[in-house]
Structure 1
Amino acid sequence: MLLVRFLLLLCLQQTGHALQLTAPSSHRAKMGEDVNISCSFIISKPIFNQSFPAITWYFQGKEILSVQNTKVIARDPRVSYTGRAEDGIADLSISNITIMDRGIYKCSILYTPKREEKEIILDIQAPPQISITEKLVVKNRENVLRSVISGFYPVDIDIKWLRDGKILDKVIMEKPLRDPDGTYSVRSSVTITPTKEDRERIFSCRVQHKYLTTPLQEDFQLVYGAIPSIHITSQAFILNVEQMLVCSVSGFYPESIVVNWFLNDTLVKNTKTRRISSSAVESDYHFIPTQQNRDMELRCVVEHATLTIPHVERLRVQVTDLTAKYKTFVPIVAAVLISVLGTVTFYVLCMKKKKKSFPKVRDITRSPGGIFSLDVHHFYPEAITISWEVIQPPSSTEPRPIASTILMHRNQDGTFNATSTCESLRGEIREDEPYIVRASVIHKKLKYPSHREWKSDDKDNRGNNIH
């Protein structure tokens, strides 16, 4: 630096000029950094009062900083003077550089009557970042993978999607949007129909941009989801008689799910949703049919990540008015009931209690996510045992027990329901060989244990009854 200034001074003395200014023609910085733009000067013939020169910096033609007799005035809090006029240094510093700071800067030195100016072009580097926003898919169904590429400048960018390194087609890139900080962001998506084999494959979103020395790539694996099934349980509607409607939702993955009831287009607020297992919930609605809601539509609406639109189960409110229907028959019915009330009441209560006592064991079901469930309905007393085991190969005589969970629910008639769930067979079986999953139910009212089986090679996924 001393040698350069000596040469400049020598040149000035030979030419007779009093002031010479040196600055780079361009400067490059990364977004978010603190930047120092250099500018230096040499005065060959100082005047007798040894006064400092006036230093002024401009950005896009507007003054942003001035230095006069050691007094510094900055028009922007991020702009500062880092030079030393007595040493011929007039450097400008800008903190936390943004895209809006790119452009033409001018360093101006006034040493009366001489003025020298130099323009410096500041270029800002803003490389992109990738965020995968959607990788949940359903097997054998058309799905869309999505990503957001943000924080880049300039706007030109190239986006590709890959599966195990092979470029995919059906790629969509939306129109880039300008963000408040001056950079750009853009959404990109690709449509695929995932298969079983895609579970182990690596998917990638790859981006090429001016300020990337090598392509930027985000790798990920697909997350396989299961679509929920819906069923509404109800009885015949009777005018002004309350009943509990149950919307059962099962077989879904991931666990997060929203269930709402609507009466026509009005959201019902007095409902309660309870979780039965990781892949099953029930939503209860205590409903009283009135004349005003006759022929209205009840809807159970389910929102889940695997659904592009909410899944809806509908139920029409068809009300029976027992009072009006049987008004003319009340005296006759009353007389008949009085005569046989004792016998009929005793008989009905005995049969009802006996009917309640025996468990109704359903077939084993398997959700798309590989979760096995067994439902046992309307049994009494509450004590019950449900155990699970796996048999592989099917001819084996040594079944292996597997872990399970059980959830109990008390019905309005005093009986109980139970749902036993076997969450996963990972590590328990060899997936390339047939196997049998067996559930056994033991209850006081069953003379022998009741068994249900699910065979891996059964196409309809139905269990076989074994007693």
Structure 2
Amino acid sequence: MATVKVLFLILLWKTSFLHNEAGLVVFAPSPHRAQLGENFVLPCSFKVDDPSINIQFFATLWLFQGNEVLRLDNKGTLSQPRMSINQQDITKGIANMEIRNVTLSDIGKYRCIIIYSPQKEFKDIDLSVYATPLVKIEKVKKEDKTSSALCSVMGFYPRNISVEILMDGTIMEDSVLSEHRTNADGTYSVNKTWTIPTDVSPKMLSCSVRHETLSPSVQKDLQLGYEAFLHNEAGLVVFAPSPHRAQLGENFVLPCSFKVDDPSIIIQFFATLWLFQGNEVLRLDNKGTVSQPRMSINQQDITKGIANMEIRNVTLSDIGKYRCIIIYSPQKKFKDIDLTVYGKYYILYKHQTAMYVVNAPIIKAAST
């Protein structure tokens, strides 16, 4: 029995000794670039001479700008909310850290530390973050009846950018670049404008943008042509009968239609807004539709001159004044519509031996 015990102790000593001599090498390429908002994996791997990794000797730490943001050891995992590690990958020699929803605050130096007791090795990794600009070009009609080309460049990072406005392929040197605006997420936006001379009729306006995230540069074009200039003179008339009565609980359509002199409606010039008691409840333009939960519009009807708004499951809170606004740039017209709501309640009363049911309209009492 004593001999068996001695052999076991010798075997345990040899195993520990072999582990203590196990070589440890860490691999972590650098630098890296992540796109704003994506989930990005910072790679870090390691190799030991042990035939298999003994988890009880293992730990990994990730630091960001010198502060610990993630730790994995034989007690478990601790990490910052957006950072994580796949514990099952450790036995494969992988200690990558994932950063979810990358922000500009994640820019900086990371350190991947691997401990395979008693050895400790680390690698430093630099991370930068970029955001690609969104580009839009439009023609804007001013109150003094002059027009300008407006190029909007939004949500880019880093800060350096080049923006040019072109008329029919020629750069307009007298265009004006605005100051950079800093957005809530740390990205930047700028506008560039060019006043169109009254004696000039461009067929195409373009916005060309160069930024380090764009390869090659990006150019957005706005085709004007003869049809667009006819549009500037197109008449606009809005029709919206009033008042209306809706039954409590039904889906009710508030009618609003319009007519323009253009042979066909050019959507890029169109927008409709619905107001209720002076507050916007629905908007449809070339960027899409935004509305209150129970209110909607059929976008396909616009090309037919129909801008009706449907109210689903009418309630007494829907009583009031609505305004249908039609914008067919540069013109703007509106109509006001009054809506009342009615319903039924049932009164049961007994007269001698008979029971009677009376239907009566709901009356919304004024508050006192």
For Structure 1 versus Structure 2, the TM-score category normalised by the shorter chain is 0.5 to 0.7
Alignment partner of 1:216 is 2:221: no
- Structure 2 letter corresponding to 1:59: F
- Structure 1 residue 194: Cα displacement: 4.4
* Aligned counterpart, 1:33: 38
Tell whether the 8 Å contact from 1:130 to 1:149 is kept in structure 2 after alignment.
yes
TM-superposition CA deviations, 1:282-303 (whole Å, max 9, x none): xxxxxxxxxxxxxxxxxxxxxx
Matches of 1:34 and 1:123, distance apart in 2: 14
Aligned partner letter, 2:170: K
Q: How many residues align?
A: 222
Is residue 93 from structure 1 mapped to residue 115 from structure 2 by the alignment?
no
Letter of the 2:197 counterpart: T
Q: Equivalent residue of 1:135, what SS?
A: strand
1:344 aligns with none
Query: 1:59-92 deviations in whole A, cap 9, x for unaligned?
Result: 222221110116111212x211025222221011
Question: What's the counterpart of residue 67 of structure 1?
Answer: 72
* Separation in 2, partners of 1:48, 1:152: 44
Deviations 1:211-237 (A, max 9, x none): 11011111113454899xxxxxxxxxx
1:62-461 superposed matches below 5 A:
62-69=67-74, 71-76=76-81, 78-82=82-86, 84-136=89-141, 142-195=146-199, 197-198=201-202, 201-222=203-224, 223-224=228-229
Alignment identity in percent? 32
> Using the alignment, how far apart are the partners of 1:91 and 1:21 within structure 2?
12
Structure 2 residue runs of 5 or longer lacking an equivalent are: 1-17, 239-256, 262-368
Contact 1:100–1:181 (CA<8 Å) still a contact in 2?
no
The Cα of 1:173 is off from its aligned counterpart by 0.9
The letter for the 1-side match of 2:209 is V
C-alpha separation in 1, matches of 2:86 and 2:168: 52
Instruction: Tell me, in whole angstroms, the C-alpha distance in 1 between the residues paired with 2:236 and 2:161.
Output: 34
Kindly state the Cα deviation for residue 188 of structure 1 after the two structures are TM-superposed: 1.4
Pair 1:61–1:255, CA change in 2 (3 A): farther
CA distance in 2, matches of 1:48, 1:135: 66
Aligned to 2:293: none
CA distance in 2, matches of 1:59, 1:164: 50
Residues in 2 aligned to 1:277 and 1:254: alpha-carbon distance in whole angstroms? 6
Does the C-alpha gap of structure 1 residues 128 and 112 become closer, same or farther in structure 2, counting only changes over 3 Å? same
Distance 2:188 2:160 in 1: 9
Contact 1:158 1:209 in 2 (8 A): yes
Q: Deviations over 1:284-331 (max 9, x none)?
A: xxxxxxxxxxxxxxxxxxxxxxxxxxxxxxxxxxxxxxxxxxxxxxxx
| Alignment partner, residue 418 of structure 1 | none
Q: Which moved more, 1:24-33 or 1:177-186?
A: 24-33
Rounded Cα–Cα distance in structure 1 between residues aligned with 2:180 and 2:99: 28
RMSD: 3.6
Letter in 1 for 2:45: S
Task: Look up the SS of the partner of 1:32 in the other structure.
Answer: coil
In 2: Cα distance, 1:73 partner to 1:182 partner: 28
Once the two structures are TM-superposed, the CA of residue 94 in structure 1 deviates from its matched residue by: 1.5
- Structure-1 separation of matches of 2:53 and 2:37: 44
Report what 2:322 is aligned to.
none
Residues 109-162 of structure 1 show CA distances to partners (whole Å, capped at 9, x for unaligned) of 1223322111111122312111235433799x6432222211111000000011
1:313 equivalent in structure 2: none
Structure 1 residue runs of 5 or longer lacking an equivalent are 1-12, 228-250, 257-274, 280-467
Aligned to 1:289: none
Quickly say closer, same or farther: Cα 1:195–1:254, change in 2 above 3 A: farther
> Is the 2:137–2:205 contact (alpha carbons within 8 Å) kept by the matching residues of 1?
no
Separation in structure 1 between the aligned mates of residue 196 and residue 53 of structure 2, nearest angstrom:
80
Shift in CA distance, 162/67, structure 1 to aligned 2, threshold 3 Å: same
Higher relative contact order (CA 8 A, sep 6+): 2
Question: In 2, are the aligned partners of 1:35 and 1:95 still within 8 Å (CA)?
Answer: yes
The aligned amino acid for 1:65 is L
* CA distance, structure 2, for counterparts of residue 104 and residue 80 of structure 1: 17
Other-structure match for 1:24: 29
Give 1:32 shift. 2.5
Whether 1:51 aligns to 2:56 is yes
- C-alpha distance in 1 between matches for 2:53 and 2:91: 15
Give the counterpart letter for 1:208 in structure 2: R
- Residues 152/254 of structure 1: CA separation in 2 closer, same or farther (3 Å cut): farther
Which amino acid in structure 2 is aligned with residue 79 of structure 1? M
Q: What secondary structure is seen at the aligned counterpart in 1 of 2:105?
A: helix
Contact 1:137 1:194 in 2 (8 A): no
SS in 2 for 1:86: helix
- Contact kept, 8 Å, 2:175 with 2:193, in 1: the verdict is yes
| 1:51 counterpart SS class | helix
Measured against aligned partners, the alpha-carbon deviations of 1:32-82 in whole angstroms (never above 9, x if no partner) come to 222111111122369997614111111222221110116111212x21102
Report the secondary structure of 2:91's partner residue. Answer: helix
Offset at residue 19 of structure 1 (A): 2.0
Cα distance in 1 between the residues matched to 2:199 and 2:53 = 87
Instruction: Give SS of 1:85's match.
Output: helix
Give the 3 Å change call, closer, same or farther, for CA 50–215 of structure 1 in structure 2. Answer: closer
